[in-house]
């Protein structure tokens, strides 16, 4: 897992050029190959992943203080819808833009990576393949500057 967090970090450096220019249409989507959305267990599977992520966040001293007092049900719904939409599912994210949602939090690189690590763990716990995990992480990378308010 540490290796994949490192890969995510390496990917961040490339986010401006490679990842952003990768069209989502490159997603394999024949009748035999499941889409990323399907590989993540569709919306119900993503809801489980986000629930497990929330438990991991609560237990993680590196970041749990940032989440004190949030509306947990709303966060769960919004993050699930966001990941659903991002993976090609039939959902519409209705939360705030990432820069606005994370403004004034002064999120550090370490905290961003801690969240990514917990998301990987939550996906592991739900039996998501490494390939599907990496494909989802790759789609999250372009959000990094907004979440960190860079």
What is the DSSP secondary structure assignment for residue 143, as one 8-state letter? G
Shortest spacing between CB 96 and ligand HEM, in angstroms: 4
Match 């993680």 to its residue by tokens: 60
Rounded to a whole number of angstroms, the minimum distance from the CB of residue 61 to ligand HEM is: 12
Report whether 12 contacts 116 (CB < 8 A). Answer: no
Spatial separation of the C-alpha atoms in residues 95 and 132, rounded to whole Å: 24
Query: Which sign, positive or negative, has the C-alpha torsion 87, 129, 13, 20?
Result: negative
* 130 counts as binding ligand HEM under rule CB under 6 A: no
**Site residues for ligand HEM, window 31-60 (CB under 6 A)?**
none
Verify binding: residue 118, ligand HEM, rule CB under 6 A.
no
Q: Could you tell me if 134 and 7 are in contact, meaning their C-beta atoms sit under 8 angstroms apart?
A: yes
Binding mask 56-85 for ligand HEM (x = CB under 6 A): -------x--xx--xx--xx--xx--x---
Residue 137 near residue 120, CB atoms below 8 Å: yes
Which residues are known binding-site members for heme?
A: 78, 102
Residues in contact with ligand HEM by CB under 6 A are: 63, 66-67, 70-71, 74-75, 78-79, 82, 95-96, 101-102, 105, 107, 111-112, 115, 140, 143, 147
């Amino acid at each position: 897992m540490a290796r994949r967090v490192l890969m995510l970090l390496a990917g961040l450096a490339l986010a401006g050029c490679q990842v952003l220019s990768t069209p989502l249409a490159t997603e394999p989507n024949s009748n035999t190959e499941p889409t990323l959305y399907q590989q993540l267990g569709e919306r119900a599977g993503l809801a489980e992943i986000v629930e497990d992520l929330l438990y991991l966040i609560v237990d993680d001293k590196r970041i749990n203080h940032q989440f004190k007092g949030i509306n947990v049900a709303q966060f769960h719904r919004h993050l699930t819808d966001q990941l659903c939409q991002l993976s090609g599912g039939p959902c519409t994210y209705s939360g705030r833009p990432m820069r606005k949602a994370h403004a004034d939090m002064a999120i550090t690189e370490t905290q961003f990576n801690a969240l990514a690590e917990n998301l990987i763990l939550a996906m592991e716990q739900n039996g998501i393949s490494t390939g599907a995990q990496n494909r989802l992480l790759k789609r999250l990378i372009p959000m990094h500057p907004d979440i960190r308010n860079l």
